[in-house]
Chains A and B, each alone.
Chain A
C-alpha cells in the first residue's frame, strides 16, 4: 500500500512559510511533525439536540485535532454521533434544533463556538466547507449548477456576475466535469449522482477553504463512482493544500484516504490514532471488533463466517452506564467497566477510552 504523496501547503502571512509534510504512504508515523499549529482543534465538544422527548446529549467531550494538510477519518456506525459532530463543527446545529453546550472548535486559532451566526456565515464557504451524503438532494433543484456556484463566489468574494460565472465554470472543469461551459447551465435533476457530487465539491471548494468536511460523500454512490470521487478529493486536497475531516463508516475508505482516525461510539470518541497504528494495533475492543468484521479474502477453500458485533448500538435514550460499549464488549469486566465512563488516555501511540487497555492485547489486521 505504498503511495508517494506530498502535501504542500502555504500560509499566507508576512513571511511566506513553506511547510512540507510528506507521507510516504498514507500512514504517517508522526502527526504534527511539520511544526505548524493544527488547523482544526476540537476541545471537549458537547452537543445537545432537541428530541420529541426533550433535550438529549448527542455527543460528549469530543476531542481531536487535525494537522495542516492532513486527513482525519471520523468513523462510526449510524447513531454514533459522527454527523452531529461534523454539523456542530460547521456551526450548523443551532437553536431550535440543538446547541453546543460545551467546548471549543478552533479553526486556525479562532473559536467557532463563540462566534455569532453572522460571523459564522462569513467563515462557512470561505474558510470551511462541507459536502454531504446525498448530492442530488443537496443541490437546489430550481437553479442551474453554475448559478449556485457563482452565487457562493459572489457572496464571499464580491465579484461581478460575469467573473463569478467564469469561476464557476473553471471549478466545474477542476472537478473533471466534461464540457463545463455547457454543463454549468444544467439543473441538478439532469445530472447523475456522481456528477452532482462533483458539482458539490466544486461548490464547496469554489472559495478555496482551508478545511473540507466530507460527510460520507460516497455512501450514496455506485462503487465505481466512489473510487473516482475519492480520487478526486485526494487530488484536489494536494492541489489546494486542503485539510480534510472525512466522516465515514467504511474502514476501507479510511485506509485509502486518512492519515489519522478517530473512532466514535455512543456519542464519544473511543479511540484516536494514526491510521496505521489503528489498523495494526488497535487499543479499544470496539475497534478490534470493527476490524474483525471486515471480510478479507483468505486462501484456501474454507467458507468464511461474516463476523458481526452482537447487539445494537445505543440510541440517545438508552446509553449504558459507565463504558458505553460494555454490553457488547468481549472483554467486559464488571464492576470495572460499569462503574464510570472511562477517560481518554494514551496507550502507546493510540488514545483510547478503555480502562482495561493495558491488559488487553488486541489484534488488528495483520
Chain B
C-alpha cells in the first residue's frame, strides 16, 4: 500500500512542476500586461514599473521558479498579489466548502446512477435499458452550469423551496447547510451520474452473466442478496476505477457550480484570482487540486483492496 502511494506521488510531482513552470513561463510572456492588471487598468507607467519590481516579475524565470518550489515545500505558498493575504490561508478557509460540495455531488451522482444502472442491466435491450442510456447521454452532455441554472429555475424561482445562493457551515446549522448544498450538489452530480450509470450498467451486465451469480440463484438466494452482495461486490472494481477518474472532473465542475450558487469555495477563489491575474493564488489552487486528486486516488486504491480479495496481502 505504501509502495503504491509513493508511486502515485512520484507520478504526480513532475506534472505539477511542469504545470507550475509553464504558468510562470506564460506569465513571463505576458509580464507587462499582468503588472498592468494588478496595478490597475489606468495606472501610470511608473506605478506599473514599481508593481513589476514589487512582484519580482523582472527576476529570471528559473530563479522565480526555484524560490517558489522551495517555499512551497516549506508550506509557504506566497501572498496574494491583490490583497497581500497568505495564499495558503485563503485556500484553506475555502477548502471545506468545496469538499462538502464534492461529497454531496458524489453522493447525489451515486444515488441517481446506481438504481438507473442496475435497472438497465436487468432489463437489457428493452425499453428501460434504452431510456436509461438516453438519459445518461443527455446528462453527460449537460454542462454543470446548465444543470445548475435549470435547478435554480425550477426549485428557486418556480417553487421557491430552496435558496439560490450562499453557504451555511454544517457545524452552525445542519438543516441550513443541507438546504444550501442540495441544489449545488445535484447540479454537480447530474453530469457524473450519466458516466456512472453507463459504467454500472456495463459492469453489472458483465457480472450478472458470471457463473457464480448463477450459483447464487441456484442456491435460492433472494434477488436482493444476489444483486447487492454478490453482483455488487464484484462489479465494484471497474466502477471504482471510473469513480477515481471522474472525481478529477468533479473537482473541475465544482469550480463552476460554486460560481452559479455563490459558494465561497476555493474554486470561486481560483476564478476570482484568474480574473484579477493574481498568479500566486492560481498556482496555489493548482497545487491544492493536485493534492486532493492524489488523496482521492489513494482512497480508491484502498477500496480496491477491500473489494477484491486477490489484491490483498
Q: What is the interface of chain A, defined by CB distance below 8 A to chain B?
A: 90, 92, 96, 117, 120-126, 129-130, 132, 134, 137-143, 151-152, 155-156, 187, 189, 200, 203-204
**Which residues from chain B sit less than 8 Å from chain A, CB to CB?**
123-126, 210-212, 214-223, 225, 229-230, 233-234, 307-310
In the complex, are the beta carbons of A141 and B219 less than 8 A apart? no
| CB-based contact B234/A134 at 8 Å | no
B220 near A121: Cβ-Cβ < 8 Å: yes
Shortest CB–CB separation between residue B127 and chain A, in angstroms?
A: 12
Assess whether B218 is in contact with A90, with CB atoms less than 8 Å apart: yes
Tell whether, in the assembled complex, residue A203 and residue B219 are in contact, meaning their CB atoms are under 8 Å apart. Answer: yes
Q: Is the CB of B212 within 8 A of A137?
A: yes
Contact residues in B for A155 (Cβ distance below 8 Å): 219-222, 225
- The answer to whether B215 touches A124, judged by C-beta atoms less than 8 angstroms apart, is no
B310 A141 Cβ-Cβ under 8 A: yes
In Å, the complex CA distance between A130 and B211 comes to 12
Other CB < 8 Å A-B pairs besides A155-B221, A155-B225, 20 of them? Answer: A90-B218, A117-B223, A121-B220, A124-B218, A129-B218, A129-B219, A130-B218, A137-B210, A138-B212, A139-B212, A142-B307, A142-B309, A152-B219, A152-B221, A155-B220, A155-B222, A156-B220, A187-B309, A200-B215, A203-B219
Contact of B124 among A92, A96, A124, A132 (CB under 8 A): A96
Query: How close is A86's CB to chain B, nearest CB, in angstroms?
Result: 10
B305 → chain A closest CB, angstroms: 12
Kindly identify which residue among B210, B217, B221, B309 contacts A151, using a CB–CB cutoff of 8 Å: B221
Measured CA separation A143–B126 after assembly (Å): 32
Residues of A within 8 A of B309 (CB): 141-142, 187, 189
CA distance A138 to B125 in the complex (A): 26
Give Cα distance in the complex from A295 to B211, angstroms.
Answer: 33
Contacting pair B211 A137 (CB below 8 A): yes
Return B233 CB to nearest CB of chain A, in Å. Answer: 4
Name 6 interchain pairs, CB-CB below 8 A, sorted by A. Answer: A96-B123, A124-B218, A129-B219, A138-B212, A187-B309, A200-B215
Give chain A residues whose Cβ lies under 8 Å from the Cβ of B124.
96
| Distance in angstroms between the alpha carbons of A144 and B136 in the assembled complex | 36
Q: Give every chain B residue within 8 A of A117 (Cβ-Cβ).
A: 223
A120 to B219, CA, bound (A): 10
Q: In the docked arrangement, what's the CA distance between A45 and B241, Å?
A: 45
Determine how close the nearest CB of chain A comes to the CB of B250; give it in whole angstroms: 27
Task: Give chain A residues whose Cβ lies under 8 Å from the Cβ of B211.
Answer: 132, 134, 137-138
Q: Are B216 and A121 interface neighbours, CB within 8 A?
A: no
Q: Nearest-CB distance from A108 to chain B (Å)?
A: 16
Instruction: Give Cα A189 to B307, complex, Å.
Output: 15
Chain A residues with Cβ below 8 Å from B219 are: 124-125, 129, 152, 155, 203-204
Nearest Cβ on chain A to B129's Cβ, whole angstroms: 10
Contact of B212 among A121, A141, A152 (CB under 8 A): A141
Give the CA-CA distance A350 to B216 in the complex, in Å.
37
- Partner of B234 from the list A126, A142, A151 (CB cut-off 8 Å) is A142
Contact across chains for B220 and A122 when beta carbons are under 8 A apart: yes
**Contacts A96-B126, A141-B310, A142-B233 given; does A125 touch B212 at CB 8 Å:** no
Which of B218, B220, B222, B233 sits near A143, CB closer than 8 Å? B233
